Amino acid sequence: MIKFFKKFRSEEDGAVTVDWVVLTASVVGLAVGGVVVIKDGVDGLAGNIGTELSSATVIGLGELGQDTQSTQETTTQ
C-alpha cells in the first residue's frame, strides 16, 4: 500500500492535465470577457448611428431624380 502511494505521488500525468484545464479555462474566460466588452461598445455605437441617421435632413429630388420645382412646372402646364 505504501508503494502504491509513493508511485501515485511521483506520477505527474494528472498534474499536467490539471494545468491545461486551468489554462484553457482562463483563456475561455478572457475571451468571453472581451466579447462582452466589445458587444457593449458596438451596441452603443449602433445606437448613436441610429440617432444621427434618424435626425438627418435629406434633400428630396422629386420623382425620377427631377427637382420638385421642375416637376411642379411640368404638371401645371
Q: What's the pLDDT tens digit per position in 33-65? A: 999 999 989 999 999 999 999 888 877 766 666
Q: What is the mean pLDDT of the chain?
A: 81
Return the higher-pLDDT residue of 74 and 31: 31
Residues 1, 3: Cα–Cα separation, whole Å: 5
pLDDT at residue 4, rounded to an integer = 85
Query: C-alpha distances in angstroms, 69 versus 35, 37, 57, 77?
Result: 52, 51, 19, 13
Instruction: Tell me the pLDDT band of 15, cut-offs 50, 70 and 90.
Output: confident
Average pLDDT over residues 19-28: 95
